[in-house]
Amino acid sequence: MTGIQVPAKFGGLGHKFSSKARIAEILAAADFGFAMSVINTQNVAQKLCRDASPDLVDRYVPAILTGERLGSTALTEPHAGSDFAAIKTTARRDGDRWLLNGSKAWIINSVASDVLVVYAQTEPGSGGAGIAAFLVDGQRDGFKRSAPFALTCPHSIGTGGFELDGYSATDREMLQPPGKAFKAALSSINEARTYVAIMCC
Ligand SMILES: Cc1cc2nc3c(=O)[nH]c(=O)nc-3n(C[C@H](O)[C@H](O)[C@H](O)COP(=O)(O)OP(=O)(O)OC[C@H]3O[C@@H](n4cnc5c(N)ncnc54)[C@H](O)[C@@H]3O)c2cc1C
């Protein structure tokens, strides 16, 4: 289930979106939090297969498919939810690398995930146009997990946050550049709205 939409050539099941939605519906009938956790992990594997360089796919996707590593997608910040363009996490050029600084909140799986797609602002003041998507490895220096949020339910969703303090990312770890990342994120939110509604039903 960690590779529902991951193409078969990368070891996944290669299903369509409609199949993912149906699987999510069945899993959510038993445990909504668990279903969201699995779907969010599979979404990261799927995104890496689509947007990452082959070496990054080899490094991360097999470990996600076996469930050794969990994935998260991190847009939201303590002060920025619906207004995603207002995020304050920055990505600053430093030689041939990017330095990421900021805090994320309300991130599914963040209690244990360490393969994260993180959105950051490369040009403060530019709104959505300056936002880029980075692959962040939670086992590297500069990543600090925060305590999970205390929810009445569902605990298996593992929701919390993390801090990036001088986290260093390579050029290749920029999954989507400014100009593309914001639009791509909104497009995946449209998909999420669909399967979350199905899961709630
Ligand atoms: C269980 C859970 C899991 C989550 N998982 C993730 C995750 O994995 N990754 C991630 O990035 N984020 C995640 N989120 C965060 C989620 O995306 C945000 O909660 C959402 O974007 C809303 O932001 P907010 O909570 O700050 O509410 P706000 O943006 O403050 O909105 C509060 C209320 O005001 C309304 N509102 C806001 N702006 C306007 C406006 N301009 N006009 C009219 N009404 C408005 C909203 O509809 C809402 O009713 C999660 C949240 C929860 C609760």
**Pairing of the two strands 160-170 and 143-145:** antiparallel
Q: Which tokens is 9 given?
A: 């050539």
| CATH class of the structural domain 8-200 | mainly beta
Per-residue pLDDT of 58-70, as tens digits, reads 999 999 999 999 9
Q: Is the CB of 107 under 6 A from ligand 1?
A: yes
Q: How far apart are CA 5 and CA 13, in angstroms?
A: 6
DSSP 116: E
- What's the rounded Cα separation, in Å, for the pair 89 and 101? 6
Distance CA 140, CA 121 (A): 21
Q: Under 8 Å CB-to-CB from 157, ≥6 apart: which residues? A: 32, 33, 34, 36, 37, 108, 109, 151
**pLDDT for 152:** 86
Q: Where are the domains of the chain?
A: 8-200
Residue 177 Cβ inside 6 Å of ligand 1? The answer reads: no
Kindly state if the Cβ of 106 falls inside 6 Å of ligand 1: yes
- How many whole angstroms from 106 Cα to the centroid of ligand 1? 9
| Ligand 1 atom at minimal distance to the Cα of residue 84 | 21
| Ligand 1 site, residue 78, Cβ cutoff 6 A | no
Which residue's alpha carbon is nearest to atom 31 within ligand 1?
82
Query: Which pLDDT belongs to residue 151?
Result: 87
Which DSSP string do the residues of 64-114 spell out, in sequence order? Answer: HHTTSS-EEEE--BTTBSS-GGG---EEEEETTEEEEEEEEEEETTTTT--
Q: Cα(81) to centroid of ligand 1, in Å?
A: 4
Consecutive 10-residue runs of the chain (201 residues): their mean pLDDT? Answer: 96 97 96 96 97 97 97 97 96 96 97 97 97 98 94 90 98 96 95 96 93
Look at residue 92 in the predicted model and tell me its pLDDT. 98
Which residues are CB-contacts of 58 (< 8 A; sequence separation ≥ 6)?
none
Residue with tokens 């498919």: 65
What pTM was computed for the model? 0.96
pLDDT of residue 94: 94
- Looking from the CA of residue 80, the nearest atom of ligand 1 is 26
Give the residue whose CA is nearest to atom 43 of ligand 1: 82
